[in-house]
A and B are shown apart, each in its own frame.
Chain A
Amino acid sequence: MSIWQEILKNVFKKPVTIEYPKVETPIEKDSRGLQYADLNKCTGCSLCAIECPSNAIEMRKLPENIKLKHNPRGLYPVINYPSCIFCYRCITICPVNAFVTTSEYRLATETDKLFSDVYSLKTLGQG
């Protein structure tokens, strides 16, 4: 048995390689991508920062002009994406299900995605 038949068949097929920047990689909608805290729900309990296996979550103080009733300590989690291993432990451990999940996996293309504070503060504007 020879591989020639298989090679000849493949000559007339489309290439399997995805031309990445031109064509998007097909990815599942629920695959583990970037996640950030929804500040409308987050109580600032710091459990995600304690449980994070790669110590990628830092609890920061909310900007001074923002006062939230459900967040008396005024803390919110900021995820350092380059350190994050996307295990989603923060999401499963959160007592108020405050995390928003996405399937965004491209970390290198845009620099404002290095930390999750941009996304988290945006959630307040929407709410």
Chain B
Amino acid sequence: MTLLTEAVVKIPISLEVPVGPQHPALHEPVVLKLYADGEEIVNVEILTGYNHRGIEKLFEMSSFYKGVFIAPRICGICNTIHANVYVRAIEQLLGMEPSPRAKYLRVLALELERIHSHMLINAIMAEILGYDTLFMLIMRDREYIMKAKEILTGNRVTSEYFMPGGVRRDIDDTKRERILDLLKRVKPRLEYYKKLFETDPTVTNRLIDVGVLKPRDVVLHSLVGPVARGSGVKTDVRAEDRYDAYGEVPWNVVTRREGDSMARMLVRWDEALESWNMCEYVLTHLPGGQAVVDERKLPRVLPPGEAYTRGEPPRGELTYYIIGYGRDRPYRVKVRTPSFTNIINSGFSYIGYSIADVPVILVSYDPCIACMERAVLIKNGEEKRLTLKELANMKKR
């Protein structure tokens, strides 16, 4: 009998399938370690740390105003909101208030960015489904928004539009008309793509009832942004904080109850249309006055104190926490991006679905790994101890 028990070969109940950090279905460096029983996923481990750039340290080493140009580099797609939230934190420290025109222009830049970001992730979703024609079409129409952003800020992607106390360039009537004209071309396209996502069987067969999140799960795992709104949790920092001109521009928080991948993508299309309305309102109701701030007159040294600001990027809730210590540079800048909670905490939502559904669920969370890398965990690396004096000297250039 003993011989028989020894001869039994142990068959693992689950198969380990690593997806990433480089993988055709992933656009960003993250590892999803899947444990699959046949086709069904039984466990998921999410490993990050492939794109850590030490940006928080860079903030501490640079002056407050250099930080205004470092913050947008955290994320390329949502660069304006990073700059906006950082700038509002500095304004909080300085006790400054931008002019109404500057606030409206800020909303315009932020909402243009939301439209193109939502178009981008919907295009990527189409690509992940193998629907490359739709990907190409959405990316083609996204160019209208990129052009509008170029007219407004001076660059297609990195806008460099924000400065404590206002914005960095104004628009005249010609530019306003051109942006309105571009927006008019985009609206029928947004409506068309939304309808296509709702009705095309290529999309619906892969998205409906995949990656269902209950409202309880969303709150329990502190998921934010369109992921939460797709499950019926009405949370939006723009509505809660009413920063910049969001208290004056009429708009609605979009929610859906289904909670599946389809609901999350449709929330994004609805939000893009809502942002379109906001952009049009801002351009037609632009208040007069001075919007551009004279950067030469801004104080170089900021008073000691702390500032905590929040914003709503296309992906969820972004927070900046800044400590000033009466010098020209911050003592500490802490950034928490929406993907940090949405990706790291969402491992539970893959369980029970098949391996083929994993890219769909991941993309429906709109991952932005470059944004969220704030720390690296080195498991078997060397240990290095630094004294307080050495740490302090690291700050000096």
Contact = CB atoms under 8 A, between A and B. Distances in A.
B66 A51 contact: yes
A23 interface: no
B154 A1 contact: no
Interface string B157-173: 01010010000100000
A32 B155 contact: yes
Given A31-B155, A87-B69, A92-B168, A53 B62 contact: yes
B196 to A, nearest CB: 6
B140 A53 contact: no
B66 to A, nearest CB: 4
Contacts, number: 56
**Prevailing SS type, chain B contact patch:** helix
A1 B200 contact: yes
A53 B160 CA distance: 12
A3 B133 contact: yes
Interface residues of A, number: 23
Interface string A17-47: 0000000000110111000000000000000
Given A7-B133, A92-B168, A32 B296 contact: no
Contacts of A82: none
B195 A6 contact: no
Interface in B192-226: 192, 195-196, 199-200
A16 B199 CA distance: 26
A28 B154 contact: yes
A89 B200 CA distance: 48
A28 B174 CA distance: 13
Interface in A70-99: 85-89, 92-93, 95
A93 B295 contact: yes
A2 interface: yes
Contacts of A30: 154
**Prevailing SS type, chain A contact patch:** loop
Nearest to B140: A16
A88 B195 contact: no
A92 B134 contact: no
Contacts of B42: none
Contacts of A93: 295-296
Interface in B11-29: none
A3 B132 CA distance: 12
Given A1-B195, A3-B133, A3-B196, A89 B69 contact: yes
Nearest to B154: A32
B151 A53 contact: no
Interface residues of B, number: 27
A125 B154 CA distance: 30
B150 interface: yes
B134 A86 contact: no
Contacts of A89: 65, 69, 295
A63 to B, nearest CB: 29
Contact of B69 (A1, A2, A27, A53): A53
Nearest to B155: A32
B134 A3 contact: yes
A2 B200 CA distance: 6
Contact of B160 (A7, A28, A51, A87): A87
Contacts of B134: 3
Interface string B296-308: 1000000000000
B155 A86 contact: yes
A86 B73 CA distance: 13
B121 interface: no
Interface in B93-144: 133-134, 137, 140, 143
Given A28-B150, A53-B62, A6 B137 contact: yes
A1 B62 contact: no
B335 interface: no
B154 to A, nearest CB: 5
Interface in B312-353: none
30 contacts: A1-B200, A3-B137, A6-B137, A6-B192, A10-B137, A16-B140, A28-B150, A28-B154, A30-B154, A31-B154, A31-B155, A32-B154, A32-B155, A53-B62, A53-B68, A53-B69, A53-B70, A54-B69, A85-B69, A86-B155, A86-B160, A87-B69, A87-B158, A87-B160, A89-B69, A92-B163, A92-B168, A92-B296, A93-B295, A95-B296
Interface of A: 1-3, 6-7, 10, 16, 27-28, 30-32, 51, 53-54, 85-89, 92-93, 95
